[in-house]
Amino acid sequence: MSEELQKIVDEYREKEIHISDEEAEQILWLCNRKMDICKIENREEYLPLLFKDEVKNYLFRCSVNATTFLRRLEAERADRCNLTELQAVNIINGFHIPDYVRIAEVRAAKEAEEHEN
């Protein structure tokens, strides 16, 4: 990887946004592939611009994937614990726990009463 491209990666690392060397190499491969497909002639000039843009795209995709994964985990937890997503997030963050315990106690008492009848 050229110094110019390494500088782009280092700028993100200085902002504490981690990009591994392997990820940077994959992004570089993607850039070269795109330039091959588009038959870019001025590769040396175009590559740094494309690489910088593709790093941004890669980081955006990573954040979307992480957000989706966390939402699925929250929903799964909510389903298993009979909680709404908001309740699960509040409990994880330590908010309103006594209220949710009381709600669960009331719900359990109602279910027990229904099973007796």
What per-residue confidence (pLDDT) applies to 24? 96
Give the whole-angstrom CA distance, residue 38 versus residue 83.
Answer: 51
* Cβ-based neighbour number of residue 83 at 10 Å: 18
Residue-wise pLDDT for 16-53, tens only, equals 998 999 999 999 999 999 999 999 999 999 999 999 99
**C-beta separation of 32 from 46 below 8 A:** no
What per-residue confidence (pLDDT) applies to 64? 92
* Cβ-based neighbour number of residue 88 at 10 Å: 20
Cα-based angle 41, 42, 48 (whole degrees, multiple of 5):
130
pLDDT tops 90 at residue 115? no
42 phi and psi, to 5 degrees? -95, 55
